[in-house]
Amino acid sequence: MMSEEKYAIVDIGSNTMRLVIYTRDKSGRLTESENVKAVARLRNYLTASGAMGSEGIDVLVHTLQSFQEVTRHHQLQEVKCVATAAIRQANNQQEIIERVEEETDFSIRILSEYEEANYGFLAVVNSTPFRDGITVDIGGGSTEITFFKNRKLIYFYSFPFGALSLKQQFIKGDMPTKDELRKLRKFLQEQFESLPWLADKKLPLIGIGGSARNLAQVHQEYIEYPVAGIHQYMMSIHEVKKMNEMLLSLDFSDVQKVEGLSKDRSDIIIPAVEVFSCLMDLIKAETFVLSRKGLRDGVFYEELTKDFELSIFPNVMEESFYELASDYDINLTHATHVSTHALMIAHELERIGLLELDEEDLKFIRLGSALYNLGTYIDAEASNQHTFYLLANRTIDGLLHKERLTVALIASFKNKEVFKRNAALYQEWYSKEELAKYSLFGAIVKLAYSLNATKRNIIESVHVEPAKDGLLFQVECTQDWKPEQYQAEKQKKHLEKQLKKNIDFQFT
């Protein structure tokens, strides 16, 4: 690695070339600070004899020279430069590598089919909650597919076709004719059926790369999706088919205007979506998930973990929690105590038959309480609004969008009315029962937070017993408890309303 602060990678794809610069933030994590893209379409310069023509090499060199202006400006000495199918498939690789080394600051590392597939897999398991799945990364000139189980790579395969080469091979005009579409579908079906390990897996299909991202963006615009962020976005197989039909029904001039679709992908989005659709049929996948993290991130995960002998994070969600804690100055000791008290209260209410909890519920209480009031980082007065907005609209690796929203609703709980107002936009995401349950969790978390009002961590245990006119909360403390008692008395009304029972405290 070069200087601690910045780190860069050039990704030479068959369709696009990118320079991405990452900067190390205060939590030690690398975040994207620059992203420069050029649509070079190198795949189009591969000649019939299998060599990359001199015009293509010129395009490659000139694009790298323009990237070099940026890397020199940032004083980046050592830039990783990786190339995929267009250069891997060229039989004059040596000539290309030499010209790049002579005329630019970069030296190219050509990734093997396995490396390309493996980096995509690493990116997915280190940034999403899926333990098992099928990944597909469709580039311009190749399509990498992996099957992973228990977060281990089981099979991989690289097909020598991508969105650009499928367009060249099957579609003469801008839009496919019925006959061209039939031939393309037949070809894809035969290709994918040649992998016996794909059939009937009934696992989510996780899409990586620009075409998958564009499909997700088009769908988000189409349904006016109310939450920010595209990573871990999910679509059903019906929604994928519907977007495919919608795109096929348009004239090419209208495809170019579709919201969410980059103009430079408008002629290759249809073959790409056909790939996703055909794969989902074969796998019998019900869900398509977008991973915004891909090849470049995989290269980094390998780099970041090379000193630890492991390239897969043990727990994606935990990594994300520590990033949030660092970004919003969360007091971890306080967060742990609030979380412990909230779980204690929840388990007590379950013990006396007022609540039923499963693993998922416990996860939401744990996260909602640990992140409670995180918005004070921006403004203590309107903390709950900021908490809701920050958590609902920030990508959290390992939390799907609905889960992230659930945590946001619990962590920003102020009272039942504000909870309802925050949830109003997402009414169709939840059943009435779910909303009632998460509102109750919010009230539990708010009470648990008040039990550590002075951040002295003085509460030993909370025991709840039914009393003749409600509930008795017996709270054991290690020091004087007056400030905690004052706050708890003040905040208990939220929980009383939801349980429809009076609460009395007994501090000892």
Tally the C-alpha atoms within 13 A of residue 422's C-alpha that lie toward its C-beta: 29
3 pLDDT higher than 70: no
* 53 DSSP assignment: P
Tell me: pLDDT of 331 over 80.
yes
Give the pLDDT score at 2: 43
Q: Do the bridges between strand 6-12 and strand 16-24 make them parallel or antiparallel, or are there none, so unpaired?
A: antiparallel
Q: Residue 506 forms beta bridges with which residues?
A: 474
pLDDT in tens, 97-156: 999 999 999 999 999 999 999 999 999 999 999 999 999 999 999 999 999 999 999 999
| Options 1.10.357.10, 1.10.3210.10, 1.20.144.10, 3.50.50.60; CATH of 318-507 | 1.10.3210.10
Q: How confident is the model at residue 424 (pLDDT cuts 50, 70, 90)?
A: very high
DSSP H/E element including 496: helix 482-499
Among 425, 421, 424, 394, CA closest to 407:
394
Relative to beta strand 143-149, strand 133-138 is antiparallel
- What is the mean predicted confidence (pLDDT) over 221-237? 96
pLDDT tens digits for range 332-373 = 999 999 999 999 999 999 999 999 999 999 999 999 999 999
- Domain at 6-110, CATH class: alpha beta
Indicate the domain borders of the chain. 6-110, 113-297, 318-507
Distance CA 112, CA 116 (A): 6
pLDDT band per the 50, 70, 90 thresholds, residue 4? low
CA quadruple 409, 401, 342, 441: dihedral sign: positive
For a pLDDT cut of 70, what percent of the chain falls above it? 99
For 170-218, what is the HEC assignment?
A: HCCCCCCCHHHHHHHHHHHHHHHHCCCCCCCCCCCEEEECHHHHHHHHH
Question: Taking Cα atoms as reference points, which of 453, 452, 439, 412 lies closest to residue 495?
Answer: 439
Distance CA 485, CA 129 (A): 39
Q: Classify burial at 428, counting beta carbons within 10 Å of its beta carbon; exposed 0-12, middle 13-18, buried 19 or more.
A: exposed
Structural class in CATH, domain 113-297: alpha beta
pLDDT bucket at 492, cuts 50 / 70 / 90: very high
Which residues face 39 on adjacent strands? 16
How far, CA to CA in Å, does 85 sit from each of 53, 91, 141?
15, 12, 6
For range 84-108, the mean pLDDT = 96
Residues above pLDDT 90, as percent of the chain = 89
6-110 and 318-507 in the same fold = no
Confidence of residue 38 (pLDDT cuts 50, 70, 90): very high
